[in-house]
Structure 1
Amino acid sequence: MQFISYQRIDPHNSWLLFLKDVFSLLSIFYVTAYIIIPRWFIRGKFLLCLLWLVIIYAWWSVLTYYSAVLTLHFLSPAERLTDYLQFMIDKGILGAFRISSITDYLLDFIFLVAFPLTVKIVQSFMSIRNVKVNLELKNAELELNNVQLELAFLKHQINPHFLLNTLYSIYVLVSDKDDRGEQSMMRLSGMMVYLLHESNQPEIELNREFQLIRDYVELERIRYNESLQINVNLETDDAHCTIVPLIFFPFVENAFKHGPRTSVSNAWVKINISVKNHILYMHVSNAYRELPKPQNYVGGLGIQNVRKRLELYYPNRYTFKTSSEAGIYSTELRVDLLEKENKDQ
């Protein structure tokens, strides 16, 4: 564009002015693009950017003045170009800052630098935006991977004592040719299938989660015989209601893990879970007796895992609390499922 404009004035003697514009534009562009924009402009240091504009404007004007002097002194420019060069020489080396001529100089300067610098500024902002988007995607991916790892940990943290004692109970039932042995084996098999395969889904039907709890409770009932009082109430007014898998199981497992620690005659577990009008209520309680914990005891990982998953999948839509008083340990959970369904739609 600069070359064409100079060719119209003088096709034979304007090359020095063209080289001046190329040199000044290269120096202005690359310093501005790779130093000023990332270090000052992007970081909001606009006063420094304004100062830089004054500096590059002065730099360009000085080069313009001396290129005019050289062209007029060593070349034989046409009349039209001579008038243009003489005008710049008459205004002096600081002609670009004189009130009478600043408009002419400023228009030439803007014509020279505005387009390339605007493209670079837009490109810089787009690059920053892309970096932020990629960072957000990576953070989301890391968060998802973290949740998947936690879920995998949760699925494999079923009390090994439960599995061992349940297998032994099933063995005794099968040895005695008790019909409950076959039923118990099917329940345990169903639990394993659910934990290893079905629970990988983001959400699952509530009835399937209920079935996992029923199977677990019945196996515990066989394990403790009549020594543990168990009361279970699972109901929903929506057969197709879905929920994040394995939300209830850690609380139910904890109730059986800690409830029977009381005296055999006073051990009990109560499980109440219901969904009404898209509001989920859970109340799990058990008889409780505080026992001294071994040194370096680490517990409660399953509950912490569930808290994280509740915060991830139901943020600001759930309430969760636990209490331990008068020999009763209870856990209460309330989740608004309707709001999540509306957002998904």
Structure 2
Amino acid sequence: MQFISYQRIDIDNSWILFVKDVFSLLTIFYVTAYIIIPRWFIPGKFVLCILWLLFIYAWWSFLSYFAALLTLKYLTPDVRLSSYLEIILSQGIFGAFRLSSISDYLLDFIFLVALPLTVKIVQAFMSVRNSKMKLELKNSALELNNVQLELAFLKYQINPHFLLNTLYSIYVLVSDHDERGGESMMRLSSIMVYLLHESNQPRIEISREFQLLKDYVELEKLRYSETVQINLNLVAEDENSMIVPLIFFPFVENAFKHGPRLSSSAGWISVDIKVTDDKVYMHVANAYRELSKPENYIGGLGIENVKKRLELHYPHNHNLEIKSQEGVFSVNLVVILHSETEP
């Protein structure tokens, strides 16, 4: 369009004005499209955008002035083009900012840049809108996934055999009028209250998690008595530190579920958890003997679920290591608490 309009003025000598417009438009468009719009316009830095408009208007007007000067000096334009160029030169290098001529300059400038920049601005807004929609869809999918994980976790967060064996052990204690029967019943009640009512919170105090583990271990001691050596060491500099519920429990339950029953020698279980400087260090180990799994065996659901929960709540801020060697099954977990992200 610019080329045709200049050709109507002078077919042989107006090419320099066309080159001027192409060069100015290229520089203005690409800098504006890929730097100014994403960094200033979209974030709403409109004062900087206005200053940029003044700059590119001045840039284009200076190029127009020098193009007119070069055309008259080195080419032989016809009378119509010469008169047009002389008007530009007579207004001076700052003619685009004079009140008497600013309207003519503005119209030419708007005609040059309005269409390509408008298209790019609309495209940028559409891109931002699409990005926001994708982010919202991703967050929605993440929330749905979290709910599904929570529901799945509730199904596998405690071994049913533990409940049956514990209830039987409590029944024996109560029948023998053992004082531990009432205490054990309170511990079991505390565990069930936690699992049913408290574990659905986004985060919970470390002290409450520790109490769950203490109650669970004490109840397991009823089953194994002195036959299994059990070591439980829970230390927290700040017991009010918050953590996602039921991160430790599946590993401890897994140690009792597989350790004493499958160990080839005297069974033992060791649970060490330390919380310091917003970091959690957990080490769970137990005696272990590898046995062949029956056909169609389904297991490890609780551990896999914890892995997903860690990825969901502590992405890139946790380290989980599970080993099974030389008759010892061990789990080491490090979690950075303050980096938690809630979906």
Which TM-score tier does this pair reach, normalised by the shorter chain?
A: 0.5 to 0.7
Percent identical: 54
Q: What per-residue deviation string (whole Å, max 9, x for no partner) do you get for residues 170-212 of structure 1?
A: 1222222222121111111111111122111111110100011
Q: Is the 8 A contact 2:236 2:274 kept in 1?
A: yes
Partner of 1:149: 148
The separation in 2 between residues aligned to 1:234 and 1:174, in whole angstroms, is 30
Alignment partner of 1:200: what SS? coil
Partner of 1:282: 282
Partner of 2:196: 196
The separation in 1 between residues aligned to 2:171 and 2:141, in whole angstroms, is 43
The separation in 1 between residues aligned to 2:264 and 2:184, in whole angstroms, is 23
Q: Is the 8 A contact 2:263 2:327 kept in 1?
A: no
Which segments of 5 or more consecutive residues in structure 2 lack a partner in the other structure?
1-32, 34-79, 86-103
Partner of 1:133: 132
Deviation (angstroms), 1:286: 0.4
Q: Is the 8 A contact 1:320 1:334 kept in 2?
A: yes
Alignment partner of 2:321: what SS? strand
Partner of 2:67: none
Deviation (angstroms), 1:263: 5.2
Partner of 1:252: 252
Which segments of 5 or more consecutive residues in structure 1 lack a partner in the other structure?
1-40, 42-98
Alignment partner of 1:156: what SS? helix
The separation in 2 between residues aligned to 1:222 and 1:166, in whole angstroms, is 8
The separation in 2 between residues aligned to 1:241 and 1:109, in whole angstroms, is 62
Partner of 1:184: 184
Q: Is the 8 A contact 2:264 2:289 kept in 1?
A: no
Alignment partner of 1:232: what SS? strand
The separation in 2 between residues aligned to 1:324 and 1:119, in whole angstroms, is 63
Alignment partner of 1:197: what SS? helix
The separation in 1 between residues aligned to 2:263 and 2:194, in whole angstroms, is 33
Q: What per-residue deviation string (whole Å, max 9, x for no partner) do you get for residues 28-60 of structure 1?
A: xxxxxxxxxxxxx9xxxxxxxxxxxxxxxxxxx
Deviation (angstroms), 1:301: 1.8
Deviation (angstroms), 1:144: 2.1
Q: What per-residue deviation string (whole Å, max 9, x for no partner) do you get for residues 115-159 of structure 1?
A: 6x8656534432332232122112112112212221232233111
The separation in 1 between residues aligned to 2:117 and 2:168, in whole angstroms, is 76
Query: Where do residues 34-53 of structure 1 align in structure 2 (5 Å cutoff)?
Result: none
The separation in 1 between residues aligned to 2:188 and 2:333, in whole angstroms, is 27
Amino acid at match of 1:129: V
The separation in 1 between residues aligned to 2:260 and 2:230, in whole angstroms, is 11
Partner of 2:170: 170
TM (normalized to structure 1)? 0.63
Partner of 2:91: none
Q: CA RMSD in A?
A: 3.1
Query: Where do residues 1-345 of structure 1 align in structure 2 (5 Å cutoff)?
Result: 111=111, 114=114, 122-157=121-156, 158-262=158-262, 266-338=266-338, 340=339
The separation in 2 between residues aligned to 1:316 and 1:263, in whole angstroms, is 34
- Of structures 1 and 2, the one with the larger relative CO (CA 8 A, separation 6+) is 2
The separation in 1 between residues aligned to 2:268 and 2:113, in whole angstroms, is 81
Alignment partner of 1:230: what SS? strand
Amino acid at match of 2:229: Q
Q: Is the 8 A contact 1:228 1:264 kept in 2?
A: no
